[in-house]
Amino acid sequence: MLYERSAGAVMFYYDGKRTEYLLLLYGAGHWDFPKGNIEENEEELETVRREIFEETGIKNLVFIPNFRHEIRYFYRKKGELVNKEVVFYLVRSYEKEVRLSSEHKDYAWLDYENALRRLTYKTAKETLVRAHDFLASIGGRL
Ligand code: ATP
């Protein structure tokens, strides 16, 4: 079995009234959060920052403290089973303009309900529920 570890972000834009989450359409056809492989000697937060920049062009962001959510799934790569772990952080973006890389086919800033509908996988939906609940719990302290 192969093992992979990625790090990513539930990234949101808050204009003082509404919160929108950024989802990407992966080449394989699923909607998910920005994320990518944790490279050797890289800290999780560094991976998240690097991947967000590579995948969206966004640099102007802030990590929201005390949120970290890990998921696991299995998929097949050229017939071989891959055991994959992805750790998600919560990131506030201060930019809405997205410059996609060739890895993704589309992007969308969506409110909570629509993002929840759009995400392809159950584990990703669960991650969004956690992040949204966390933001609600810190409320005005953003
Ligand atoms: P990364 O963005 O971490 O570099 P990647 O683009 O190589 O990863 P994944 O997004 O992990 O790959 O997708 C690899 C396979 O796993 C695809 O077939 C995808 O449909 C499937 N997959 C992605 N996310 C999930 C999930 N949360 N649950 C189950 N299967 C998933």
Note the pLDDT of residue 60.
98
CA-nearest residue for atom 7, ligand 1, is 36
8 Å CB contact between 2 and 84: no
Give the model's pLDDT for residue 141: 64
Q: How far apart are CA 62 and CA 141, in angstroms?
A: 14
Ligand 1 geometric centre to CA of 103 (Å):
12
Is the C-beta atom of 84 inside 6 A of ligand 1?
yes
User: Is this prediction's pTM over 0.95?
Assistant: yes
By residue count, the chain amounts to: 142
Decide: 36 in ligand 1 pocket, CB within 6 A: yes
Residue 47 Cβ inside 6 Å of ligand 1? The answer reads no
* Ligand 1 neighbour 124 (Cβ under 6 A): yes
The span from the CA of 51 to the CA of 49, in Å, is 6
Q: Which of 141, 126, 119 is nearest to 64 (CA)?
A: 141
How crowded is residue 108: how many other Cβ atoms within 10 Å of its Cβ? 15
| Count of structural domains within the chain | 1
- The residue segments making up the domain with residue 54 are 2-138
- What is the mean pLDDT for each group of 10 consecutive residues in the chain (142 residues)? 98 96 97 98 98 98 98 96 98 98 97 98 98 91 68
Q: What CATH number does the domain containing 98 carry?
A: 3.90.79.10
pLDDT of residue 140: 60
* 106-139 pLDDT per residue, tens: 999 999 999 999 999 999 999 999 999 999 999 8
The per-residue DSSP string of the chain comes to -EEEEEEEEEEEEE-SS-EEEEEEEETTS-EE-SEEEPPTT--HHHHHHHHHHHHH----EEEPTT--EEEEEEEEETTEEEEEEEEEEEEEES-------TTEEEEEEE-HHHHHHH--SHHHHHHHHHHHHHHHHHGGG-
Alpha-carbon distance 20 to 133, whole Å? 14
- State residue 80's pLDDT score: 97
